[in-house]
Amino acid sequence: MRIGMVGLGKMGGNMAERLRRGGHEVVGYDRDPSISDVGTLKELVDRLEAPRAVWVMVPAGEPTRATVAELGELLDRDDVIIDGGNSHYVDDQRHAGELGAKGVGFVDVGVSGGVWGLENGYALMAGGDAAHIQRLMPVFETLKPEGPDGFVHAGAVGAGHFAKMVHNGIEYGMMQAFAEGWELLEAADVVTDVAGAFKSWRHGTVIRSWLLDLLVRALEDDPELTQLRGYAQDSGEGRWTVQAAVDHAVPLPVITAALYARFASRQEDSPAMKMVAALRQQFGGHAVTSATSGEGAAPPPGGAA
């Protein structure tokens, strides 16, 4: 099918490429004219056939809100907007209400896969009307990994980003546990091959995982993590997860502690935060802070610039 893609950065660009490899026609728009197929959102809409589908992959918050609002003025009844960024689920519900009054559909999709998604596929968590989801299934089938898993219609509008929000909160806790274990092994002077210990856990143990694989990769690249400063940003979804837990009176001690640990990383050069920073760079191509210059270091090979 033909689909518009707004935002061709490290995620949106790779997703557009995976769709093209899967036989879809993608019309892409980005503020960078060197990678954009059209010059404006209006040109993008004009290049699509009704009923249109436009996937938005721009930063959460005001950039997404402004993009959705502009598209809402350009699209017609029965067209649909897909927000695949890391938006707050409350924004999704507001967008759906505003667009619905004009007959334009809205679907929210939590997307996980980072810079590796182009080759491995993306885990997709969708929220929206069943008819809209069904119409977009050819796109979802192409983007997700091969096999039966990797996609869920999580519920009504907002459910996709809510599920992704919780996913990222769990991710915070898992990364923090690995990082603290690494710090203890390094500090104890009992284990002389710390990297080898982690590598030995990759098969046959209950903590084997893709994150563990990425941790081993990070240690192979920089065994003592001397090239990183112990500073880790948070995407905002960890905060939203903790706030949702407060709203629903659900205790989240591990995820909350992991979020606070990231806050603490901004006050001192935490050894554990070096590992969190390294993992974020490995799986998502996120910029990291150099230990020497304080400048943002480049992502790993295969990551986005």
Residue linked to tokens 């192409």: 142
- The C-alpha torsion from 275 through 277 and 279 to 283, rounded to 10°, is -170
Residue 47 Cα distances to 27, 40, 42, 74, 265, angstroms:
7, 11, 9, 12, 47
Side chain identity, residue 30: D
Side chain identity, residue 47: R
Using alpha carbons, select from 90, 171, 83, 95 the residue that is nearest to residue 125: 83
Our answer to whether residue 144 is catalytic in this structure is no
Using alpha carbons, select from 101, 114, 67, 105 the residue that is nearest to residue 87: 67
Residue tagged active-site, from 102, 164, 199, 274: 164
Cβ-based neighbours of 83, under 8 Å, separated by 6 or more: 56, 64, 68, 92, 95, 106, 107, 108, 109, 161
Q: So which residues are the catalytic ones?
A: 164
